[in-house]
């Protein structure tokens, strides 16, 4: 099957034609977003690629990454800019090699954003694969061991239709 040069659709919400595969990014992990303004100042740090939250039980560590969902017939995937939590050792390794990533580096992580259009996506297990050339790490969700895979996991593995991509794009753009 030939791939479409560009994903494009006429939005049912605003009537505009949107071109290019959809991309949605979260500016913080859900855990940070749910803190009060005072807590954000006193127990958290947030940059464009790193976040930590210090609390009585320890420190939660997050990095910014990318989760791609293929779109059937489109050259480019639906891209979610997400945050994942890492262990202390994995976070330290990623931080120390941030400016000079090591090919083949990867970590276990958990998804830390609620993606619109899906049931709760917080804490889905994933491999976090370091990419080179200034690209953020790639999130690859683990396959569920049960017969009831999470819909996001299935979508990432099997791809989504153009209609589903449009539905998610309209939902994230217009909240409908």
Contact predicate 117/69, CB 8 Å: no
In 103-129, which positions are buried (b, 16+ CB within 10 angstroms) versus exposed (e)?
Answer: eebebebbbbbebebeeebeebebebe
Structure tokens that stand for 43 in this block: 């127990």
Strand pairing partners for 108?
127
Confidence of residue 7 (pLDDT cuts 50, 70, 90): low
As a whole number of angstroms, the distance between CA 107 and CA 84 comes to 10
pTM: 0.88
- In sign, the C-alpha dihedral spanning 92, 114, 121, 8 is negative
Domain ranges for the chain: 8-174
38 sits in which H/E element:
helix 37-43
Contact predicate 86/64, CB 8 Å: no
Among 135, 91, 95, CA closest to 112 = 91
The separation between CA 22 and the C-alpha centre of its own chain, rounded to angstroms, equals 13
- Residue 156 confidence (pLDDT) above 80: yes
Quick check: helix, strand or coil at residue 4?
A: strand
Among 75, 94, 163, 84, CA closest to 121 = 84
- Residue 15 confidence (pLDDT) above 90: no
pLDDT in tens, 102-138: 999 999 999 999 999 999 999 999 999 999 999 999 9
Task: Identify the pLDDT of residue 145.
Answer: 75
Confidence of residue 8 (pLDDT cuts 50, 70, 90): low
């Amino acid at each position: 099957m030939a791939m479409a040069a560009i994903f494009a659709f006429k939005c049912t919400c605003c009537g505009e034609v949107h071109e290019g595969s959809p991309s949605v990014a979260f500016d913080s992990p859900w855990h940070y977003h749910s803190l009060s303004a005072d807590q954000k100042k006193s127990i958290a740090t947030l940059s464009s690629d790193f976040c930590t939250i210090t609390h009585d039980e320890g420190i939660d560590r997050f990095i910014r990454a990318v989760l791609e969902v293929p779109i059937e017939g489109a050259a480019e995937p639906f891209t979610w800019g997400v945050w994942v939590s890492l262990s202390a050792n994995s976070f330290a390794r990623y931080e120390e090699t941030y400016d000079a990533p090591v090919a083949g580096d990867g970590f276990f992580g958990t998804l830390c954003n609620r993606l619109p259009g899906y049931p709760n996506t917080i804490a889905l297990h994933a491999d976090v694969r370091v990419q080179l050339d200034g690209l953020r790490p790639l999130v690859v969700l683990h396959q569920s061991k049960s017969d009831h895979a999470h819909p996001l996991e299935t979508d990432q593995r099997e791809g989504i239709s153009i209609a589903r991509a449009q539905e998610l794009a309209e939902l994230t753009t217009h909240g409908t």
